[in-house]
Structure 1
């Protein structure tokens, strides 16, 4: 399979997995986002024991059936533990498949990860450029699976739901807590 075909297949898989997460592959890890010392975006991935993930993708919210990844990355060999990568200059086996564009203020971004073979999904995290600017190195923004009320399901337009989910369903933890967290959280 050519690099272009592989990129297209990986990107399509990640978008489909993200849209259909509720009825898709099992959760086999978790994903987060943070910044490096220069304030550049960094992806964080924790893979559950015995599982693997080999790709990540970035899309803009709200996601529709026609959404396409605006950036994507592969990791070889597949990640089987905690790992991280710079969005623009990845290392440690991570490679850019589709370069990340300049992130824009006010846009809600959706970062997700999964396995090319469909065996697992790392969930997703939402963020804005403003969220990243408020972060420090060593912090990781994650989906808050244990949030407390009144965080109910977002309502309104698709754009409003994306903003509400970004504001009320995410939390920032330390990188150490991210790496030590149970795969069941």
Structure 2
């Protein structure tokens, strides 16, 4: 499936709008940032979080399925302090304050995954990023994939850092 490139500001605006929906409906956690994924020099996946407001405490990567009951965690990470601003971490070997609560395993070719960040008290989250191993193979180090569904985009890390929060 080709990557549909969307302007980063459109992703941030959509994430901010999604964050306002819970205030009206009370159904989900408010969105205060944007999650993304990139690859290291060796091609291994690296998580990326840009917080626009507030903070998050950790991140989860799960199989992407329409039925939430069919989703399985592929990795869960917790940070030793609140995450604000921009952070990155290698999914297979976290460091710099990251601890793997559920160690990251191998990604299955053809399986869709989704990663997002959260707070322990469910007060804030980030938008999620959907991807497959094929999507990761198309990235170069420092190129961030962000967004979900029909709002997928890629941007160099510096552009992601500068523009992720424009819609908040």
Residues 22-65 of structure 1: CA deviation (Å, up to 9, x unaligned): 8312111110001011100000001124x110111111121423
Residues 105-162 of structure 1: CA deviation (Å, up to 9, x unaligned): 1111111111111111101000000110111011000017xxxxxxxxxxxxxxxxxx
| Aligned counterpart in structure 1 of residue 151 of structure 2, from 169, 182, 185 | 169
TM-score by length of 2: 0.78
2:55 alignment counterpart: 52
- 1:42 aligned to 2:46? yes
Q: Distance in 1 between matches of 2:164 and 2:62?
A: 26
- 1:80 aligned to 2:80? no
Instruction: Give 3-state SS (helix, strand or coil) of 1:112's partner.
Output: strand
The one of the two structures with greater contact order (alpha-carbon pairs below 8 A, sep at least 6) is 2
Q: Which entry has the higher C-alpha Rg, 1 or 2?
A: 1
Q: Distance in 2 between matches of 1:111 and 1:134?
A: 18
The structure richer in strand per residue is: 2
- Listed as ranges, the gaps of 5+ residues in structure 2 are 1-21
Q: Give matches, 1:92-103, under 5 Å.
A: 92-103=96-107
Aligned pair count? 143
- Cα RMSD (Å) of the superposition? 1.9
Instruction: Give 3-state SS (helix, strand or coil) of 1:103's partner.
Output: coil
| Aligned counterpart in structure 2 of residue 89 of structure 1, from 67, 83, 93 | 93
2:5 alignment counterpart: none
- Listed as ranges, the gaps of 5+ residues in structure 1 are 1-20, 145-164
Instruction: Give 3-state SS (helix, strand or coil) of 2:107's partner.
Output: coil
Q: Give matches, 1:108-127, under 5 Å.
A: 108-127=112-131
How far off its partner does 1:182 sit?
A: 4.5
Q: Distance in 2 between matches of 1:98 and 1:63?
A: 22
